[in-house]
A and B are shown apart, each in its own frame.
Chain A
Amino acid sequence: MSASRPRALEGIRRATADDLDAIMAIETSVFVTDAWSRELMQAELTAPHSFYLVVERDGAVVAYSGLRAAPSVEDADIQTIAVAPHARRLGLGRALMHQMIAEARGRGARHVFLEVRADNPSAQQLYDSLGFERLGVRPHYYQPDDVDAVVMRLTLQPVPPTVEPQPPVEPLPPVEETPTVERSAPVEPLPPVELVETAPSNGGFRQAQPAVPAVGSAQPAARSTQPAAASARPGAVAAPLVLGIETSCDETGVGIVRGTQLLANVIASSMDEHARYGGVVPEVAARAHLEALEPAITEAVARAGIRLDEIDAVAVTSGPGLAGALMVGVGAAKALAVALDKPLYGVNHLVGHVGADLLDADGGPGRDIELPTIALLVSGGHTSLLHVRSLTDDVELLGETIDDAAGEAFDKVARVLGLPYPGGPQIDRVAADGDPAAIRFPRGLTLPKDMAKHRYDFSFSGLKTSVARWVERREDAGEPVPVADVAASFREAVADVLLRKAIAACVDRDVPRLLLGGGVVANARVRQLAQERADAAGIQLRIPALSLCTDNGAMIAALAAQRISAGFGPSGLDFGADSTLPVTDIQV
């Protein structure tokens, strides 16, 4: 023991402003082409949430590293790490990494992110061995060398390890690590996005447009010094190009969006095949999806004027909906994602209907949805009232139908009146000549006791039965059935209940905005009454274009694009079709 030469390392300590000269000497020798400026480095050393370390050896600084971790922010970023050439292979990089990970943990971080040059396998091996996983590739991240960055992430366990305190410097044998060139621009961390599931040499997230600048940066100099890196920060994908697949009911929808811009919205409906059955037959719908999906994708890609391999992500409805129908889309979307080596986002159909309002049906730039908003989604399969505080991560189900969906009631009443399927447009057509006040049909779940217990829930089964009973009484008495009046009165009852509850939700929740979605929005009286009631209550009403209100793939793509831009990672490949997926599960 005593014969062994004492290690020459003095140890690791926090960097101070006095270390700037020594750090810059290493910086300019290690990062020859893309060294940070002295001003930038100085700002970094003293930035509020920075944590910089130096390693001294024989009285000289031979290595340094920087961490950015704001207190109680879940994501920490390794900003830079560099070891002087003559001090490599001593395990200094590993020792610095251990210290920074421990610091991130101590500040309450759950994840530590870093970028490393794709042409530096030994550094990548070091991070692999520390437990970092590869999230994806950022093409052309390092300029001017034009080298890709591999994005890596370490997930920290909530409880710090209790085994032994980390020694200042691990007495490791020299290893072939050269962790000298991993770094990112010192900008304020944005929520990172998991870009792709693997790190193919040519894969990764194509930046569709220049990314949004990082906000709230404490270092305005950062971007001018490191423009390429700054624009490629994780989470900064402004307008991802997403292909969305929707097969939850009887419409095969394939849409393509770039952020909030609609590029294609192809819908193949099997409605005609269901007509003779008087309603959607799940097996008929699922068979039709299988036939329609491939042509629909092909057409959407052609209309969007893109190549399939240009997309940044694939999105698919994972639920709620008809299980067998959903599975066709889920199976196809997974295979497409693997074939293209793109991330896959399985998203919620109902929240997708809200996302439809992001898009302009004519292909304009789209818009932000003003939030919070109440959303009333009414179709043949759903009647739901949502409180949307954030499209990407905060949606609450206020109520839904406890029996038939509103669209289903239209279909059933149409049959009672001898009108063809689908019932909505037929009832709308004949009701135009009728008196909505001719017959007072019941308003489900609107009695005071119901409004206490089922304030935002709907029921249309009793209404449908009531209409049938009324019609049968007339027929049994040998009297003619006033079809127009029945249709108008029935339609009025449905619209009245829908809007009464939706407006109540707006008032109760103090949310002066109402958004409509779903196929029943095509009903003229529903739209008209919504406008009247919203105006009377001082509520702003939004109704997307009808081509975006009915089931479609564009809304699914738009929702996924929002999730991507907000920094959420992909869904992986193991999810299934969930026929009862709750709205709180915006993405599976």
Chain B
Amino acid sequence: MLLAIDTSAGTSVAVVDREGGVLSESTTVDTMRHAEVIGGMIRDALAQASVTPGELSGVAAGMGPGPFTGLRVGIAAAKAFALGIGRPVVPIVSHDAVALERYAWGHIGPLLVVTDARRRELYWSTYGGVDELGIPLRTGGPGLSKPDELPEAARRAAGHASALAELPRYDATSVSAGQLGLLAEWLYAARRPFAEDRPLYLRSPDVTPSSGPKRVTA
């Protein structure tokens, strides 16, 4: 049983079980209040699932891609919670959870998952389909592009044979922690690797090194 947290878009918290599926899940698309809601949502997810922290075997964390300020809140919470219960963090690429949901809902074949990166840019990942276990196969990304450069960048990354064909695109406004947690359970069960334990900001900090002091006299 896992607690799953994703703050790469809004905030989503879930408790999942490999056998029982998603035991509880709540999601808000508000992208301005990650720090405010995270604690109450974790508490409520556990209460709704009637699960105590000690019963969990780990914490799945959505590592992004996502705008940095909010993304960090969820990862920090996942790591601290895991520390509190003495269990590991399972890092997952947030887009993979979106893809898992799309395929679960019946999508077949290649897929482009897109989320808002703010500053008029988009995060994207491409998928070729699912494997025999239903786990999405990411073929490109996660990447960051301006909207008008996205189709080409994504197709190039996907290395899709029919590069001219339109890649079915799904713009997600939220990432389901339930799907994130299920993916973590399945990856673990199939002994597949998790994502790297590294937040996927895909951007450098907004700063340039100092070029020395500016003159104050003309």
Q: A328, B39: Cβ atoms under 8 Å?
A: no
Contact partner, B76, options A279, A332, A476, Cβ 8 Å: A332
> Known interface pairs A283-B68, A287-B68, A327-B72. Does A332 touch B212 (Cβ–Cβ under 8 Å)?
no
Q: Which residues of A are found within 8 Å of B129, using beta-carbon distances?
A: none
| Interface presence of B206 (CB below 8 A) | yes
The secondary structure that dominates the A interface is helix
Pair A338/B76 contact, Cβ less than 8 Å: no
Interface-lining segment among B30-38, B103-111, B133-141, B188-196: B30-38
Given known A277-B209, A577-B35, contact A298–B53 (CB-CB < 8 A): no
Contact A574 B209 (CB under 8 A): no
Task: Mark B43-71 against chain A: 1 for CB-CB distance below 8 A, else 0.
Answer: 10010000001000000000000001100
Docked CA distance A576–B201 (Å): 22
Chain B contacts for A290, CB-based, 8 A: 72, 75-76, 199
In the complex, what distance in Å separates the CA atom of A378 from the CA atom of B216?
25
A297 and B43 form a contact (CB under 8 A): no
Q: Does B163 contact A (CB under 8 A)?
A: no
A441 to chain B, nearest CB (A): 14
Q: A214 on the interface (CB 8 Å rule)? A: no
On whether the beta carbons of A327 and B80 are closer than 8 Å, the reply is no
Q: Contact at B53–A339, with CB atoms within 8 Å?
A: yes
Interface size of B as a range? 35 or more
At the interface, yes or no: A278 with Cβ under 8 Å from chain B?
Answer: yes
Alpha-carbon gap, A359 to B36, bound state (A): 30
Whether B119 is near chain A, meaning CB under 8 Å from some CB there, is: no
Complex interface: stretch among A151-159, A220-228, A466-474: A466-474
Q: DSSP majority for the B interface?
A: helix
Inter-chain contact B46/A338, CB cutoff 8 Å: yes
CB-CB under 8 A for A468 and B216, given A308-B84, A415-B210: yes
B205 touches A283 (CB 8 A): yes
Contact between A416 and B34 (Cβ–Cβ < 8 Å)? no
> Using Cβ atoms and an 8 Å threshold, which residues of chain B touch A576?
33, 35-36
Q: How far is the CB of A372 from chain B (nearest CB, A)?
A: 34
- Do residues B206 and A331 form an inter-chain contact, with CB atoms below 8 A? no
B11 (CB) vs chain A CBs: closest residue? A331
Contacts of B73 in A (CB 8 A): 327-328, 330-331
Judged by a CB distance under 8 angstroms, whether A324 is at the interface is: yes
Using A324-B72, A468-B213, A574-B36 as known contacts, say yes or no to A335 and B207 having CB atoms under 8 A apart. no
Q: Which residues of B contact A287 (CB under 8 A)?
A: 68, 72, 199, 201, 205
CA distance A307 to B3 in the complex (A): 22
A575 within 8 A of B: yes
Chain B's closest residue to A330 (CB) is B35
Enumerate chain B residues within 8 angstroms of A324, measured Cβ to Cβ.
68-69, 72
Q: Does B112 contact A (CB under 8 A)?
A: no
Determine whether A249 belongs to the interface, using a CB cutoff of 8 Å to chain B: no
B39 touching A332 by the CB < 8 A rule? Answer: no
Given A293-B80, A332-B77, A573-B43, 19 further pairs, Cβ under 8 A: A277-B208, A283-B205, A283-B207, A287-B199, A287-B201, A290-B76, A327-B35, A328-B72, A331-B34, A331-B35, A331-B73, A335-B76, A335-B81, A338-B39, A338-B43, A339-B80, A341-B53, A415-B210, A576-B36
Which A residues lie at the B interface, using CB under 8 A?
276-279, 281, 283-284, 286-287, 289-290, 293-294, 297-298, 308-309, 323-324, 326-341, 344, 412, 415-416, 465, 468-469, 472-473, 476, 573-577
Sample 6 A-B pairs with CB under 8 A, ordered by A number.
A281-B207, A284-B207, A328-B73, A332-B79, A335-B42, A338-B81
